[in-house]
Structures are given as C-alpha cells and as structure tokens.
C-alpha cells in the first residue's frame, strides 16, 4: 500500500492571497465544540517543532472520529493510503492568518502574518516559499 504524506521540509507556507485578516487570529470555538482549526492550532502552538504536518492532521482526524488507541496504527495507515489535503488547505493558513514553517525534519510551527518572524521567514532564501490555497477562485 502506497503511503502519501503532507509533510514539507525547509518550507514556509504563507497565508493565502485572499486571507481576510492582516493580523493572525485564534480560531473561535463553535457551539458544537472544537473545529479542525482549533485542534490544529492548539497542537502546533503548544508544541512548536515537535510534530509534522502528518502528525497534526492525523491526530485531529483520530480525535474527531474517536479512534481508540489500539486502532491508531491501522487507522493512520488507512488515512495516508490516499492523498490528504496539506496545511496549505487549512483554515489556519487560509482564513486565520497563520504561516507554517517546516524545518529540515518536517517539524512545524506557526507564525502570525504581519509579525517580524513571519516577515523573516517569508524572505528567507534558504526556504521553499509556498502560498496557502485561495478560498475562492
């Protein structure tokens, strides 16, 4: 079974060109509970450079789907047996103004648009710079 990945190395994902904010925002909670954006935000902000994109996306999927600990290995293999949207398609990069830096090991951290750190990463010639996907056409 082929395994697909969403991981990047030495890459900075800039916010989408049509991102509606100029200062990064914490994704709001919904009445129904945490959204994928909330889960991704908390996991990455609380543990910068500890997880890969694959780790974050799968953990959010596992939590949303109440996958038991005993089934995580099999569920992860099934999850990545087909292509998954990467963090370029995340609400964090498209709507809430967060850039995602992936280091040489593919571990990620968030940086708010308009911050000194964001500007520095956007201008770093040693990184591959990609934009998040647009929300509209």
pLDDT single digits (tens) 18-39: 999 999 999 998 887 889 999 9
Residue linked to tokens 């850039």: 99
pLDDT score recorded for residue 1: 64
pTM: 0.92
Radius of gyration of the chain (CA): 15
pLDDT single digits (tens) 106-134: 999 999 999 999 999 999 999 999 999 99
Domain ranges of the chain: 11-131
Residue linked to tokens 């995580």: 72
What whole-number distance in Å separates Cα of residue 20 and Cα of residue 8? 25
């Amino acid at each position: 079974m082929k395994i697909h990945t969403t991981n990047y190395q030495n890459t900075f994902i800039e916010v989408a060109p049509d991102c509606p904010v100029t200062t990064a925002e914490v994704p709001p909670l919904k009445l129904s509970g945490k959204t994928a954006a909330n889960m991704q935000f908390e996991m990455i902000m609380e543990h910068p450079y500890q997880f890969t994109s694959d780790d974050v996306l799968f953990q959010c999927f596992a939590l949303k789907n109440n996958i038991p600990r005993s089934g995580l290995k099999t569920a992860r293999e099934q999850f990545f047996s087909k292509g998954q949207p990467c963090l370029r398609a995340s609400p964090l990069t498209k709507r809430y103004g967060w850039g995602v830096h992936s280091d040489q090991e593919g571990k990620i951290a968030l940086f708010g648009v308009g911050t000194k750190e964001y500007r520095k990463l956007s201008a770093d010639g040693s990184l591959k710079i990609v934009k998040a996907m647009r929300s509209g056409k």
